[in-house]
């Protein structure tokens, strides 16, 4: 599906704001977004301001997961956004005592899907529906 370039630039700004809000350092943002290893942290400012993130399947899947996790956190903690940050940085029994952010950083897209499934029961159900 082709996305309007202006829409993609706006979406890139939103994703960068989410990652900034999650207090992820720039090198980890590069990893979370699956940008090329040679990407310099200063390039992230372009994505915050004027440039769309790369239009690749891997980056697009990660953008989808990041936005969905952010939305699930917003509905889980509607009155206190700081609780979202706390939840992301607190070891979790369902993640073998790892934090949700560690799951994302260590397991990439699969980690994002696991975190999203933990927050969003409808998404978790859709994943199990596709298995059977």
pLDDT for res 2: 55
Give phi and psi for 98, each to the nearest 5.
Answer: -90, 155
Cα of 40 vs its chain's centroid, Å: 19
Q: What is the mean pLDDT of residues 45-71?
A: 95
Residue 66, pLDDT above cutoff 80: yes
* Domain spans in the chain, listed from the N-terminal domain onward: 5-131
Q: What is the pLDDT of residues 32-56, one digit of tens each?
A: 999 998 999 999 999 999 899 999 9
Q: Which of the four pLDDT bands, split at 50, 70 and 90, describes residue 29?
A: very high
pTM tops 0.85, yes or no = yes
Q: Looking at residue 5, what is its pLDDT? A: 73
Instruction: Work out the mean pLDDT of the chain and round it to a whole number.
Output: 91
Question: What pLDDT score does 37 carry?
Answer: 87
C-beta neighbour count of 35 within 10 angstroms:
20
Burial 45-68 (b: 16+ CB within 10 A, else e): eebeeeebbbeeeebbebbebbeb
CB atoms under 10 Å from CB of 121, counted, come to: 10
**Does the pLDDT of residue 95 top 60, yes or no?**
yes
Task: List pLDDT tens digits, range 72-84.
Answer: 999 999 999 899 9
Angle between helix 121-131 and 100-119 (nearest 10)? 80
Residue 1 tokens read as 């599906």
Q: Could you tell me which of 68, 63, 75, 85 has the C-alpha nearest to residue 124?
A: 68
Alpha helices in the chain (DSSP H): 5-21, 26-32, 44-49, 57-76, 81-88, 100-119, 121-131
For the cut 60, the answer to whether the pLDDT of residue 60 exceeds it is: yes
């Amino acid at each position: 599906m082709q996305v309007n370039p202006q829409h993609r630039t706006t979406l890139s700004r939103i994703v960068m704001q989410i990652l900034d809000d999650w207090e992820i350092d720039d090198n980890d943002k590069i990893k979370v977004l699956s940008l090329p290893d040679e990407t310099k942290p200063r390039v992230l400012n372009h994505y915050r301001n004027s440039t769309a993130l790369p239009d690749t399947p891997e980056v697009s899947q990660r953008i989808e997961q990041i936005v969905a996790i952010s939305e699930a956190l917003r509905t889980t903690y509607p009155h206190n956004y700081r609780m979202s940050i706390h939840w992301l940085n607190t070891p979790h029994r369902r993640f073998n005592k790892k934090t949700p952010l560690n799951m994302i950083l260590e397991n990439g897209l699969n980690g994002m899907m696991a975190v999203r499934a933990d927050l969003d029961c409808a998404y978790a159900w859709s994943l199990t529906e596709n298995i059977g």
